[in-house]
Amino acid sequence: MFRAELELQDGIEQVLTAEGIEFEREVSLAKGDKVDFLIEGSIGLEVKVAGGLSGVTRQLHRYAQSDRIASLLLVTTRLAFHTNLPGELHGKPLEVATLINSVL
């Protein structure tokens, strides 16, 4: 179970490393905007264990405007909040992976 966003990020990093998947962590896309992971050079992965839909949507919109991002993946523990996101932002695919029962 994950109690904090950093703990979940660390777990994702362990899986990516174990699978030999190329990634960078905390990548700056623009002033004040850092995506949690940049996978294979162009997949932006953002992790959320808290926060509402509007804040996450604004953040992902900004990330989608970056030339470095080809697609986005949101990994969240907030089933009720983050599953209503669109499948595309600024012409770039967006997928949401929800981890159910992963936060105390």
Distance CA 30, CA 51 (A): 21
CATH of the domain at 20: 3.40.1350
| Percent of the chain at pLDDT exceeding 70 | 88
Residue 26 resides in a domain:
yes
Mean pLDDT score across all residues of the chain:
89
pLDDT, one tens digit per residue, over 64-100 is 999 999 999 999 887 766 677 889 999 999 999 988 7
pTM (global) more than 0.85: yes
Q: Which residues form the domain of 91?
A: 5-98
Positive/negative CA dihedral, 3, 66, 57, 59: positive
Residue 68 resides in a domain:
yes
Mean pLDDT on 26-31: 95
Count of structural domains within the chain? 1
Residue 104 resides in a domain:
no
Q: What's residue 104's pLDDT?
A: 42
Beta bridge partners of 88: 93
Residue 77's alpha-carbon distances to 5, 24, 31, 81, 100, in angstroms, are 10, 22, 27, 9, 6
Distance CA 45, CA 80 (A): 19
Residue 85 resides in a domain:
yes
Residue 29 resides in a domain:
yes
Residue 91 resides in a domain:
yes
Residue 49 resides in a domain:
yes
Residue 103 resides in a domain:
no
